[in-house]
Amino acid sequence: MLKGKCVVIGVTGSIAAYKIANLASALVKLHADVNVIMTKNATNFINPITFETLTGNKCLVDTFDRNFQFQVEHVSLAKRADIFLVAPASANVIGKMANGIADDMLTTTILAAKCPKLISPAMNTNMYENPIVQDNIKKLSDYGFEIINPASGYLACGDTGAGKMPEPETLLSYILQTIAFQKDMSGKRVLITAGPTQEKIDPVRYITNHSTGKMGYELAIHCARRGAKVTLVAGPTALEDPLFVETVHVISAAEMADAVKSRFEEEDIVIMPAAVADYRPINPADEKIKKDQSDANGNVIALERTEDILMSLGKIKRKDQFLCGFSMETENMLENSRTKLSKKNADMIVANNLRTKGAGFGTDTNVVTLITADACRELELMSKADVAAAIMDEILASLTQSEYKLRLS
Ligand code: CTP
């Protein structure tokens, strides 16, 4: 995902410095060229050799080190950088950067860098809340640096409050959001559904299915990274709300229908991987149903159909909107999915067969077939993140074509 991208990480003297080893390692796995610059204080918390081993690049500490790979190291690295993250950023280094002080390798290089710059402040709460530090952070923000707000929690000094560096996964999300993709979806609004729904039987029981929400969440993250404004309407899942996406939590099919239909008009693209329950109990009980009550009823739960959200949207869809449904089958996948495409008036159905190895619920991979009115393209086994990218490439190509046709007509 980051092949050919040069990521520079500035590490300063804060206890959180050791966590950057995980970030450096994750970036290398995504094929980034990772270069770490440390302040002298940071070397008290983690040894530069750790970063050199993980990244395969020299870890720079001292401006006057003679053992350089380049003639003028700080300028050369600043020019090559696609992104510059300072994490953890101490109050001292934030103060220097905000005031143009360049007295070591890190501050010198960042002053020369023109790429996007991310700053992750990490310090004691009182230091973080000090108006001098706040002013410096605001100044950096006004100069175009992006500030990653610190998390709140128990700090190494024993205090509890704001000032914790977010986990490496969060820092990685910021980097990916900034440089992983061209922003070819900026200006587009996308709504994505995800996960299962739960249909109440009584206060302790419900009807649901095995959906984990992974495919929908990957689509939401991917669209946000391509610059779209994304709303994720999610049924109950164990997944964390993705950054850079507006997540709307719902429980039942009826709530999902309300959340989706009320937003539909303003969306350009709607994608529906959610496994919406097709039936719900007609009369959910207000109190827990006891066994003798259930026995007396013949152990039958009376069900009614839920609204088919995709079909409702298909009826009101405008020509400039793109509607993509999903179809999970165990037999006759192509035939059943083509029927859904026409019956629900969708522009595309992403079909998969639960019986195919690597496809289905809870896996990190999927094997899907993209079905439109005039084409059918089977994709190979790939990660759900790659499936998300392939689906969006297909949708964007199709939208460009129909926009062109609309202009001609
Ligand atoms: N869907 C929906 N509302 C429902 C049921 C399904 O919007 N009440 C959407 C799903 O989100 C998916 C598509 O319809 O995008 C197909 O769902 P699927 O469960 O595969 O098919 P169904 O239409 O429910 O048909 P069947 O259960 O008979 O296969």
Q: What is the pLDDT of residues 104-138, one digit of tens each?
A: 999 999 999 999 999 999 999 999 999 999 999 99
* CA atoms 325, 330, 333, 338: torsion sign: negative
Q: Model confidence over 68-108: pLDDT tens digits?
A: 554 456 688 999 999 999 999 999 999 999 999 999 999 99
Q: Is residue 256 within 8 Å of 233, Cβ to Cβ?
A: yes
In angstroms, the CA 243 to CA 256 distance is 21
66: pLDDT strictly greater than 60 = no
Q: Which among 122, 106, 208 is positioned nearest to 168, based on CA atoms?
A: 122
At 74 the pLDDT is 66
For ligand 1, pick from 261, 326, 330 the residue to mutate: most ligand atoms within 8 Å of CB. 326
Ligand 1 geometric centre to CA of 408 (Å): 34
Helix-, strand-, coil-residue percentages of the chain, each rounded to 5? 40, 25, 40
Ligand 1 geometric centre to CA of 393 (Å): 23
At 76 the pLDDT is 87
Q: Is residue 11 within 8 Å of 42, Cβ to Cβ?
A: yes
Packing angle between helix 48-55 and helix 20-29, nearest 10 degrees? Answer: 10
Q: What mean pLDDT do residues 286-299 have?
A: 94
Q: What mean pLDDT do residues 282-304 have?
A: 95
Least confident range of 47-51, 201-205, 249-253, 292-296: 292-296
At 183 the pLDDT is 97
> What's the full length of the chain, in residues?
409
0.85 surpassed by pTM = yes
For residue 340, CA distances in Å to 203, 310, 345 come to 34, 10, 8
65: pLDDT strictly greater than 80 = no
Kindly name the residue from 6, 157, 324, 376 that is annotated as catalytic.
157
Q: Which among 47, 51, 38 is positioned nearest to 12, based on CA atoms?
A: 38
Instruction: Name every protein residue with a CB atom under 6 angstroms from any ligand 1 atom.
Output: 253, 272, 274, 276, 278, 306, 308-310, 325-328, 340
At 73 the pLDDT is 61
Buried b (16+ CB within 10 A) or exposed e, 225-236: bbbbbbbbbbbb
Q: Model confidence over 392-408: pLDDT tens digits?
A: 999 999 998 887 777 77
Q: Model confidence over 136-191: pLDDT tens digits?
A: 999 999 999 999 999 998 888 888 899 999 999 999 999 999 999 999 999 999 99
Beta strands (DSSP E) in 229-367 are 229-234, 246-249, 269-272, 279-281, 303-305, 322-329, 348-353, 365-366
Q: Which among 217, 267, 249 is positioned nearest to 387, based on CA atoms?
A: 217
Cis peptide upstream of residue 168 (ω within 30 degrees of 0): no
Q: Say how many C-beta atoms besides its own lie within 10 A of residue 393's C-beta.
A: 13
- Which residue's alpha carbon is at the smallest distance from atom 23 of ligand 1? 340
At 159 the pLDDT is 83
Q: Is residue 208 within 8 Å of 196, Cβ to Cβ?
A: yes
At 407 the pLDDT is 78
Residues of the chain above pLDDT 70, percent? 97
Buried b (16+ CB within 10 A) or exposed e, 163-177: bbbbebebbbbbbbb
Q: Model confidence over 227-247: pLDDT tens digits?
A: 999 999 999 999 999 999 999
Q: Model confidence over 181-229: pLDDT tens digits?
A: 999 999 999 999 999 999 999 999 999 999 999 999 999 999 999 999 9
Ligand 1 geometric centre to CA of 229 (Å): 25
At 71 the pLDDT is 47
Element (H, E) at 160: strand 160-164
Ligand 1 geometric centre to CA of 221 (Å): 23
In angstroms, the CA 22 to CA 168 distance is 7
Mean pLDDT of all residues belonging to the chain? 94
The reply to whether 157 belongs to the active site is yes
Show the tokens assigned to 369. 């077939």
3 vs 70, residue with greater confidence: 3
Half-sphere exposure of 17 (CA within 13 A, CB side): 23
Beta strands (DSSP E) in 43-147 are 83-89, 117-121, 146-147
Indicate the burial class of 243 (C-beta count within 10 angstroms; 0-12, 13-18, 19 or more). Answer: middle
